[in-house]
Amino acid sequence: MVNFKEEIAKLIAEHVEGLEISEIQDMVEIPQDPKMGDYAFPCFKLAKVLRKAPPLIAKGIAEGISGDSLFEKVEQVNAYVNMFISKEKFVSDVLSEVLTKKDDFGKSDMGGGKTVIVEYSSPNIAKPFHIGHIRSTVIGNSIYKIYDALGYNVVRINHLGDYGTQFGKMICAYRHWGNKEDVIREPIKTLLSYYTKFHVEVEEHPELDDEAREIFTKLEHGEKEETELWQWFRDESLKEFTRVYDMLGITFDSYAGESFYSDKMPRFVKELKDKGIMEESQGANIVNLEEYGLGIALITKSDGSTLYITRDIAAANYRKETYDFYKNIYVVASQQNLHFQQWKKILSLLGYEWEKDCIHVPFGLVSLEEGTMSTRHGRVVFLEDVLNKAVEKTREIIEEKNPNASSEDIDETAKTVGIGAVIFQELSNNRIKDYVFKWDKVLNFDGETGPYVQYTHARCASVLRKAGEETVSRAAALDGLNSEYLCSESAYELAKLLYKFPEVVADAGEKYEPSIVTRHIVDIAQSFNRFYHDEHILTDNEEEKIAKVALVLAAKTALKNGLALLGMKAPERM
Ligand code: ARG
């Protein structure tokens, strides 16, 4: 695509001395008010160098560049050169970019194949996979898609919470009160009930605690019976998680969770000791980070068992050695900020220079209208139930809107739109903000929601169906495209948003912020709908029709590619 800022800088460079093209390019602005032009060049800074009043400089530049075919109009206003790009040129340039790149529009090769790890979701096995987990799962998946589009080689890791003393308790409880059939029928709820029962019983029978600890030690030593039970709990839990991942269309390259590092920690415990970073305290091993305002990090307990952070130290090293990552990204709630700060500090004290490439991407809490969740009080909202409810509610809305649609069509659409709505809602706000999950907001077809964007995509598809294959294929091939017909305000605004799309994707990647993409595709959808209402698209004038259909096709392409970056499908009909 033409880089307009660069083209403008080249032209201006011919009329000012002593400035590099790249310096000029950095000074070119995009005015807030489109009346001030598509681009503007402020001349204040040049006054000193050129020893001339800024308005005079602006006047000289404006006169110098105004004849170029890039522009429709160039004006000097005070110290500014305001430039209006030739709409025809701009629109036809954008269209040829979008329509030749198609599914690849928005992608780039800036990553140059460098390896980026995105770790996300990472639930704890035998614990509910609840609505709180949706954030890491969905934000992480979108960050993966964005980095993939930017030309990185992405490795998706699910760092399962599948290790720790709680498994001693669970096995202990299972042996006392457990039942195989119940676990198979409903693994997570059943295992959780054992875990809860253990905590009740241990009040009366403290010896259960010793028993659980012994069991965990056996597990750590890889004893057959304990390992088999643990493995079984893990497999059954994963089956439940996978059901949810399938609904969301999410996959991973690796499920190397905490247990994977159980034999990889001693090396680092030793290294921490040898380098004098770790000290003993009441039989435990700690790293004192008080001087950095980060408290105390517990590395091993007095009984020798390791902790969450110990496994994260081993995991980061394993990832560096295995993948030689360029970036190692952790999409984990902001509640764990201190954990990640301690962990990064320890990696840096150990002298690993790649610590700077390890990035914690935090996000805020999700709460429910009915009040906060609490596992202890049984106020758990399972993610799977939320997704099913979204599909159900969407089906009702669609049935109401299309009383004649076939039930198979409705099934498929309800899934795409219902689940998409939940995903979109997750990615709508700045990730760091806490937010309240509200059904009305999620499923509103007219608001700034997933259904709205998907519906707009389906609307584009419907226009194309009506236009007919012949016209669409000519438009797609830019055959006889006359962009004169695309200079109206609404067409031009839409083209401008399309032009910005690749920049938006790069920006979202740099900031680890999918909501930047979400907002932009809402803008595109709104802009398309304005165009759709303002203009008669399928006119009798063949040339005009082809031009307009090309713009519809381009908008559809951008919406589809944008939705894909969020992990959503783009339905052809709704
Ligand atoms: N399993 C943890 C939890 O549910 C999240 C794991 C985050 N990742 C990590 N490498 N520490 O809270």
Mean pLDDT within 486-500: 96
Which residue in the block uniquely carries the two structure tokens 């202890």? 376
Does any ligand 1 atom lie closer than 6 A to the CB of residue 330? yes
How far is ligand 1, taken at its centre, from the CA of residue 336, in Å? Answer: 8
Cβ atoms of residues 118 and 25 within 8 Å: no
Which residue in the block uniquely carries the two structure tokens 């068992």? 305
Does any ligand 1 atom lie closer than 6 A to the CB of residue 325? no
Three-class DSSP category at 261:
helix
Rounded Cα–Cα distance for residues 483 and 467 (Å):
18
Cβ atoms of residues 215 and 172 within 8 Å: yes
Model pTM?
0.93
How far is ligand 1, taken at its centre, from the CA of residue 215, in Å? Answer: 24
How far is ligand 1, taken at its centre, from the CA of residue 255, in Å? Answer: 12
pLDDT, position 377: 52
Mean pLDDT within 244-267: 96
Q: Can you tell me which atom of ligand 1 is nearest the CA of 343?
A: 11
Nearest CA to ligand 1 atom 4: 123
pLDDT, position 341: 98
pLDDT, position 355: 98
Pairing of strands 435-437, 284-288: unpaired
How would residue 445 be classed by pLDDT, with cut points 50, 70 and 90?
Answer: confident
Rounded Cα–Cα distance for residues 551 and 205 (Å):
73
Nearest CA to ligand 1 atom 5: 122
Asked if the model's pLDDT at residue 558 lies above 90, the reply is yes
Rounded Cα–Cα distance for residues 498 and 492 (Å):
10
Mutate to test the pocket of ligand 1, among 118, 122, 337 (most ligand atoms within 8 A of CB): 122
Asked if the model's pLDDT at residue 487 lies above 60, the reply is yes
Count CA atoms closer than 13 A to 134's CA, side-chain side. Answer: 29
Nearest CA to ligand 1 atom 11: 312
Write out pLDDT tens, residues 116-160.
999 999 999 888 888 878 999 999 999 999 999 999 999 999 999
Does any ligand 1 atom lie closer than 6 A to the CB of residue 514? no
Asked if the model's pLDDT at residue 375 lies above 80, the reply is no
- Write down the mean pLDDT value for the chain: 93
Mean pLDDT within 383-396: 92
Rounded Cα–Cα distance for residues 136 and 39 (Å):
39
Which strands make up the sheet holding 327-331, listed edge to edge? 153-157, 115-119, 327-331, 358-361
Cβ atoms of residues 158 and 255 within 8 Å: yes
Three-class DSSP category at 394:
helix
How far is ligand 1, taken at its centre, from the CA of residue 158, in Å? Answer: 9
Q: Can you tell me which atom of ligand 1 is nearest the CA of 315?
A: 10
How would residue 90 be classed by pLDDT, with cut points 50, 70 and 90?
Answer: very high
Does any ligand 1 atom lie closer than 6 A to the CB of residue 312? yes
pLDDT, position 408: 80
**Which residues touch 246 (CB under 8 Å, ≥6 apart)?**
none
Rounded Cα–Cα distance for residues 53 and 59 (Å):
10
How far is ligand 1, taken at its centre, from the CA of residue 119, in Å? Answer: 9
pLDDT, position 373: 56
How far is ligand 1, taken at its centre, from the CA of residue 366, in Å? Answer: 17
Cβ atoms of residues 118 and 329 within 8 Å: yes
Greater model confidence, 305 or 181: 181
Element (H, E) at 287: strand 284-288
Mutate to test the pocket of ligand 1, among 159, 337, 383 (most ligand atoms within 8 A of CB): 159
Which residues are marked as active site? Answer: 127, 130, 133
**Which residues touch 73 (CB under 8 Å, ≥6 apart)?**
66, 83, 84
Cβ atoms of residues 159 and 184 within 8 Å: no
Query: Considering the chain, what percentage of its residues have pLDDT values greater than 70?
Result: 98
Q: Can you tell me which atom of ligand 1 is nearest the CA of 127?
A: 4
How far is ligand 1, taken at its centre, from the CA of residue 257, in Å? Answer: 9
Does any ligand 1 atom lie closer than 6 A to the CB of residue 106? no
CA distances from residue 516 to 32, 284, 423, 436, 439 in whole angstroms, order as listed: 18, 45, 14, 20, 23
Write out pLDDT tens, residues 217-235.
899 889 999 999 999 999 9
Q: Can you tell me which atom of ligand 1 is nearest the CA of 333?
A: 12
Phi/psi of residue 327, nearest 5 degrees: -140, 145
pLDDT, position 379: 62
Greater model confidence, 184 or 373: 184
Write out pLDDT tens, residues 43-79.
999 998 889 999 999 999 999 999 999 999 999 999 9
Enter the tokens of residue 208: 């259960």
**Which residues touch 193 (CB under 8 Å, ≥6 apart)?**
none
Write out pLDDT tens, residues 268-321.
999 999 999 999 999 999 999 999 999 999 999 998 888 999 999 999 999 999
Element (H, E) at 285: strand 284-288
Burial (Cβ within 10 Å: 0-12, 13-18, ≥19) of residue 66: middle
pLDDT, position 111: 97
How would residue 448 be classed by pLDDT, with cut points 50, 70 and 90?
Answer: very high
pLDDT, position 571: 95
Query: Considering the chain, what percentage of its residues have pLDDT values greater than 90?
Result: 81
Determine how many CB atoms are found less than 10 A away from the CB of residue 433: 11
pLDDT, position 539: 96
Burial (Cβ within 10 Å: 0-12, 13-18, ≥19) of residue 179: exposed
